Chain A
Amino acid sequence: MFAAFAMSVVALLWQISGPADAGEPAINVRSAELTASNDGYYLDASFEIDLGHTLEEALTKGVALNFVLDFSLIYERWYLLNLWNKTVANFEQRYRLTYNSLTRQYRIAAGTLTQNVDSLREALVVMGGVRNRFIVSRDEVDPEKPYTAELRLRLDTSQLPKPFQLDALGSKGWNLSSDWYRWTVRP
């Protein structure tokens, strides 16, 4: 009994770390860039989000989906591996996507801001777009040095109800995340 339990847990863990197949839900970075303006640097990015069949169904069945956008700007030091990398700026943006079956609308909540849209496509576009997000002021970066920016948008499965978390352990249909998108920034 216990052995079966342990084996199932091991199997679940194995599946999580396994490579993603095509045709599954996916988030791809369409574009991402840091643009300089007079006072500092701003992030513009756009993601292409494909919820996939399972997540879409879950959404329409009333499950709230939480997305997290992670961004950090790092100054990479060549010595001491990467332990002493200096994070110049980072932020984490949370989105909550819900479906209202009465009004047949999708709602995106980011902090206190909410937005209702009529279609899923629209909702995904809204959520997948980052416009003019202030990152860091000009005097905080050294213009002589190269920086690395990294960006990722993912579904936060830990915010799902527990039964779905259990499902998520077993299935790739529930694991939605973009890879880390990294690019070098030269201010």
Chain B
Amino acid sequence: MKRFWLSLRTRGGLMLAGTVAVLGAVVLHLLSATSADVPTFAQGLPQLLLAGLVVVLLLMLLTGYQLLMLRRRLKQRVFGSRLTLRLVLLFSLVAVLPGALVYGVSVQFLARAVDTWFDVRVEKALDGGLALGRNVLDSMLKDLRGKADTMALLVSDRAPRQQLALLNMLREQAAVQEVALLDVNGTVLVFSGDEQSGLMPEPLSPSVLRELRMQKAYSGIMAQPSGGLLLRVAVPVSALGGELVALELVQRVPDQVSRNAEAVQFAHAEYQELAFSRSGLKQLYALTLTLALLLALFAALLLAIFFSQRLSAPLGVLAEGTRAVAQGDFSQRTPVRSYDEIGILTQSFNAMTRELAESQGETQRYQTQLESAKASLESILATLSAGVISLDGERRLRSVNPSASRILEIDLTTLVDVPVGRWSERDARLAALAAPLAAALAGPLEDDWQGQIAYAGSQRGLTLLARASTIRQAAPGGFVIVFDDITDLLNAQRQAAWGEVARRLAHEIKNPLTPIQLSAERLQQRLRHKLDTTDAEMLVRLTQTIINQVAALKGMVDAFSEYARTPETQLKPVDLSQLTREVLGLYEPIGPRMNLKLQPGLPSVLGDAVKLRQVIHNLLRNAEDAVGTVSEPRIILSIGADPTGGIALSVSDNGPGFPSDVIGRAFEPYVTTKPKGTGLGLAIVHKIVEEHHGRTRLENLAPSGARVTVILPPASAAAQVTSPSHRAANS
């Protein structure tokens, strides 16, 4: 749009300049035409000069305006304006120098040429010619005068009545055109004329008549308006009555003579006029030339500016296009107007822009694909439960997925770009993972590396299975490490193994126990009566010991097999508070004091009431055992909402607490601190809680004591979690 207006304005300006220049040319033409065939409106020289001046002023203003615009563009550093300036200067030089030269030469030449026109010999020849003409006419006049005198003598002694016939005859004889007799006032008395003359002779002027009255003859030449010369002679005649009359003779000068004489006269007059106007002529020519020079100069300047702009305009457009391309806009197409080199340049620029736009589109498409692929990969990694981290060739952390941070309970994203060897500086726990990794990745990895790592979680110890492999694609040789929390898996495996072992052992041990017991009882019954009292007493005591120990052994094996062969858990909504009260009812009267802290309005949990009762029972018994040696035993049982959303049941005591070497694996079977414990109490608790999808937590209290917490999911949440598997199990 802007370009369109600009072009329109330049076009309009050019048209204006053209009109003004044409006007100037017309004025110049009129000025230089000195002949008479100039239209009447252009006669006035001052008006013409003024018109020329106005035209020159207009051109000057236009040129000045254009130069001002050019200067403004130069100041604004419009692309192409410097080229325009150079072109303008060049064109101006090309136009002005020859113009000025031609002007100077012309002025000089004209001044000399005008002077050389006026030659003394020509002047003399013309003067001579004129004099010759005059002489011829004079001699003809003299001749006519002689005829007039003769006629006057003849006429003077005739009566007026006879005069017409006489005059006719004399006219014929003398071969003159008109003969007339006039009185001294100019009134025609008698007139005789040939076929060419009019009815009456032309009247004599008062001065001639005055001369005639004074008896003086008149002779003169008349130029006829229709061309041709007439000789006229008037002589005084004394008529018969003494009255003074005048005889007038008119004779036509022969055409040949008069034509020649008039030609000489015309040339002479023209020459005289030219000679007389010499200085004016020179001035006029100089003025006209000056005007022409100024017109040509400013017109050339205007043209120079116009053409320079036209030449440099495509460059400006190209520059604009280049800027647009630099800013990433490939949509601009520069219109091709000319078919010269600039046009070709514009075309190739357009082709380049098109190709750029296409390749950029390609790149963008490719990038979009890449991004979507990356996004899908990231979402896969995010939903993956396993932790995935990648390292670059320098063993620096490059990327990490959310599961990795969750498993390790450390925000690994803060470790990006930190080499593996220095991870432990951030968090000492990471050393467990970083040290074997750093060792495994010290050199190039031939095969995949795999290792189990014991990691200290905030709630429990974790066992991680980590696998590192080289990223084949990446040039510097990066690594990807996948690790998973296999703690639960390991636990389950271990417990399954223990269960198997326990069942077999129980079976193997239990089998011989019954015969041993029966044999001991039989031995007692059979021999008691046959022995004396002391021996019998001893027998009874020993056999009883055997029986008791076998029974104890049986109990132990039963407990053992119970742990291994737990019945199917049946989950139903259970009010944990109610259940706890029931269990506490059994303990109330005996043993140490127990405090119950219940948070009111708790939701029920999903669980097996029998098993949960055993959990509470086991926990309470543990606590009771723990405080056996304490002077002021105190056991607190509290049930409340856990921050994680479950319901927490915790039993705390003020006993000695767990030894540090046990606390990590107190939930494992056969780990015990009690002199006569099976080591299965907490293991059973842990197992039952896991069957309920709950968690167990163990901690020592300050200054002494321990707390075991069981967190069970509420009935609503657990129902959602377990119902699918439950249904599957039922069906």
Contacts and interface: CB of A to CB of B under 8 A. Distances in A.
Whether chain B is bound by chain A comes out as: yes
Interface of A: 1-2, 5-6, 9, 12-13, 16, 57-58, 60-63, 100-105, 107, 114, 116-118, 122, 158-159, 161-167, 169
A137 to B, nearest CB: 30
13 contacts: A61-B269, A61-B276, A101-B130, A101-B269, A102-B262, A103-B220, A105-B223, A117-B205, A161-B34, A163-B284, A164-B280, A165-B45, A167-B279
B221 A103 contact: yes
Contacts of A117: 205
Given A158-B45, A166-B287, 11 more contacts: A58-B273, A60-B272, A61-B272, A62-B273, A63-B277, A101-B268, A103-B220, A116-B223, A158-B43, A167-B279, A167-B280
Contacts of B283: 163, 166
Nearest to B280: A163
Interface in B252-311: 261-262, 264-265, 268-270, 272-273, 275-281, 283-284, 287, 290-291, 293-294
Contacts, number: 109
B225 interface: yes
B225 A114 contact: yes
B270 A118 contact: no
Nearest to B218: A118
A163 to B, nearest CB: 3
A102 B277 contact: no
A9 B34 CA distance: 19
A169 to B, nearest CB: 6
A62 B269 contact: yes
A166 B276 CA distance: 13
B264 A158 contact: no
A57 B270 CA distance: 14
B611 to A, nearest CB: 121
B113 to A, nearest CB: 14
Nearest to B258: A102
Contacts of B49: 9
A101 B222 CA distance: 12
B44 A158 contact: yes
A130 B264 CA distance: 35
A107 B277 CA distance: 22
Using C-beta atoms within 8 Å of the partner chain, give the interface range for chain B: 35 or more
Contacts of A158: 43-45
A122 B207 CA distance: 9
Contacts of B277: 63, 161, 163-164, 167
B56 A2 contact: yes
B519 to A, nearest CB: 152
B320 to A, nearest CB: 39
Contact of A61 (B134, B273, B293): B273
A122 B34 CA distance: 31
A166 B284 contact: yes
B181 interface: no
B241 interface: no
A60 to B, nearest CB: 8
Interface in B31-59: 31, 34, 43-46, 49-50, 53, 56
Nearest to B60: A2
A61 B275 contact: yes
A116 B278 CA distance: 29
Contacts of A114: 225
A103 B279 contact: no
Contacts of A58: 273, 276
Nearest to B282: A163
Interface of B: 31, 34, 43-46, 49-50, 53, 56, 130, 133-134, 137, 205, 207, 220-223, 225, 229, 261-262, 264-265, 268-270, 272-273, 275-281, 283-284, 287, 290-291, 293-294
Contact of B223 (A5, A6, A100, A166): A100
Contacts of A103: 137, 220-223, 229
A122 B208 CA distance: 12
A61 B272 CA distance: 5
Contacts of B56: 2
B268 A169 contact: no
A118 B280 CA distance: 30
Chain A to chain B: the 10 pairs with minimum beta-carbon distance, closest first? A62-B269, A163-B280, A165-B45, A163-B277, A102-B265, A61-B272, A158-B44, A103-B221, A167-B280, A163-B281
Contacts of A101: 130, 265, 268-269, 272
Interface centre among B31, B34, B284 (most CB of A within 10 A): B284
A103 B45 CA distance: 32
Contacts of B294: 1-2, 5
Contacts of A107: 223
A62 B31 CA distance: 22
A61 B123 CA distance: 12
A118 B205 CA distance: 10
Given A58-B276, A62-B272, A165 B46 contact: yes
A100 B265 contact: yes
B297 to A, nearest CB: 9
Contacts of B229: 102-103
Nearest to B225: A114
Contacts of A167: 277, 279-280
B222 A162 contact: no
Contact of A63 (B221, B273, B293): B273
A159 B41 CA distance: 11
B207 A5 contact: no
B561 to A, nearest CB: 131
Nearest to B279: A167
Contacts of A57: 276
A62 B34 CA distance: 16
B276 A169 contact: no
A166 B294 CA distance: 20
Contacts of B34: 161-163
A102 B133 contact: yes
A161 B273 contact: yes
A167 B221 CA distance: 34
A63 B270 CA distance: 8
Contacts of B268: 62, 101
B287 to A, nearest CB: 7
Contact of B46 (A159, A164, A169): A169
A167 B279 CA distance: 8
A151 B284 CA distance: 33
Nearest to B43: A158
A158 B291 CA distance: 20
A64 B462 CA distance: 134
B460 to A, nearest CB: 106
A116 B293 CA distance: 46
Nearest to B30: A162
B45 A162 contact: yes
B490 to A, nearest CB: 109
Contact of A116 (B46, B50, B134, B222): B222
A62 B207 contact: no
Nearest to A12: B46
